[in-house]
Amino acid sequence: MKWKKFRIKTITDAEDIIISTLYDIGLEGAQIEDKVPLTAAEKEQMFVDILPDGPEDDGIAWLSFFVEETEDGHLLVDGKETDEESVMENVRRELEELRIFCDIGEGSISVDETEDIDWINNWKQYFHQFYIDDLLVIPSWEEVEETDKDKMVLHIDPGTAFGTGMHETTQLCIRQLKKFVTPETVLLDVGTGSGILGILALMFGARSVVGTDLDPCAVEAVRENLESNHIDPDKFEMMIGNIITEKEVQDRVGYGCYDIVAANILADVLVNLTPVICSQLKPGGIYITSGIIDDKETTVVDAVKAAGLELLEVNYQGEWVGVTARKPV
């Protein structure tokens, strides 16, 4: 399948209105390229602690719309055949009408033909099986080699949104889970994502897991990964919401009932999470955190101590840090 890419140069303030306007003429699924910094909410949903420095926002935005091209060269818009010239004419007309009452910047349009791409599955070429110590992590599209049949194997498909265990922060958490999980462990995983930490806790012998995440897509990701690893879904309960700010989520999660709380998220989020999560931990419960870039170590350690937790370990991998603490008995 081939696609025509219509790329519009505009300004960031006009992104939404152009996308909405062109949606009305059948152009959907806009790709946005700009230099606008992420919002606090967007950063909160990412597992990295500090993003690479980017260029200063210049107010310029590029909006790309992809239109399917048939074998005979026609374009399909809203299921109807058309051609490049007609699409360009419609887009220009809509942009000129927008100029009457708002600034859209340059408003120039370019057209390119894309490669024949499987948009959903093309990323899979970059994710292959790998080891975390003696644990083999493998996606569904690869097979376990005969020499690995006796290994513990985690089947994980990240989809397009969630982690796979390749990141150092996840590996720091996994090693701590392996150290502290027992057959009686009830685990709370804050920022569940693909479910990798909770699923591994169950594989290590934990009794049950509760996961929380801001992204509703985590529910399906966890369900699929539980199924791939032949784990009883009744052992893993997912909740969507912000455990830091939403009392309802805190109440649903429960108080004083977790042997381990794991959180692989932003250091700044951990600062706000830690005093809240103390209420969820049992006396003597273990708090496992990561997602901490090395120069934020002190920030998280101080937050742990301020919440009245006993610091047990600080572990390192690359430029990342894991902090493990215990709630006093």
d(CA 108, CA 65): 14
213 is in an annotated binding site: yes
Cβ–Cβ under 8 Å, residues 324 and 313: yes
Closest CA to 166 of 134, 123, 196, 206: 196
160 is in an annotated binding site: no
Neighbouring CB atoms inside 10 A of 256's CB total 12
Beta bridge partners of 153: 136
Name residue 270's amino acid: L
Q: How far apart are the first and last CA of the chain?
A: 62
Q: What are phi and psi of 151, to 5 degrees?
A: -85, 160
191 is in an annotated binding site: yes
Cβ–Cβ under 8 Å, residues 309 and 302: no
Name residue 133's amino acid: D
Closest CA to 270 of 256, 288, 251, 252: 288
Cα distances (angstroms) measured from residue 98 to each of 24, 94, 103, 116, 298: 13, 6, 8, 33, 51
83 is in an annotated binding site: no
Coil vs helix vs strand at 325: strand
Task: Detail the residues annotated as belonging to a binding site for S-adenosyl-L-methionine.
Answer: 170, 191, 213, 264
Task: Detail the residues annotated as belonging to a binding site.
Answer: 170, 191, 213, 264
